[in-house]
Amino acid sequence: MIANWDVKYETNISEIDSQHKKLFRLINQIETIYEENKNHLSVNSKLLIDAVSELEDYTISHFLIEERVMELNQYPELEAHKKQHDRFTDKILELKKRLTSGNLLTNDIELNQFFSELIQFLRLWLTNHILKEDMNYKPFIKLDL
């Protein structure tokens, strides 16, 4: 089930909303590759690794910008928010390491399970994080980048 952008995710901070939309697109891209190649994921492992890497890189960049916006606006919960970002980044790095090491890439059954769980995790984390944590800083933001 592709995750769709909805106005309920808007922070009204143009750069952040634009980046959140791209994060949705990147997760949807992973899901599309997964859905189109379910029965032969190991053959398309490079596509999957590249898609996860792109999401990882973009997420790290997004977090830095979002944290800078919070810092500029003296958001009082900045450190707690950064810790959530760090935990997410650590989880993505752990999952990517799991994906690229060992025999996972050659086992379609395990790859299927891995990507099913990854997509569910990404979708839930992103939507919950935006709706709960990011909405908490929304009233504090007076300066955009």
Q: Residue 130 has what pLDDT?
A: 94
Tens-digit pLDDT profile for residues 90-125: 999 999 888 888 788 888 888 999 999 999 999 999
Please name the amino acid found at residue 12.
Answer: N
Question: Tell me: domain 16-28+42-140, CATH 3.40.50.620, correct?
Answer: no
Domain boundaries, the chain: 16-28+42-140
Q: Residue 28 has what pLDDT?
A: 93
Written as one string, the DSSP assignment of 51-63 is HHHHHHHHHHHHH
Tens-digit pLDDT profile for residues 15-45: 999 999 999 999 999 999 999 988 888 888 8
Give counts: helices (H), strands (E), the chain.
5, 0
Instruction: Please state, in angstroms and rounded to a whole number, the distance separating the CA atoms of residues 28 and 16.
Output: 18
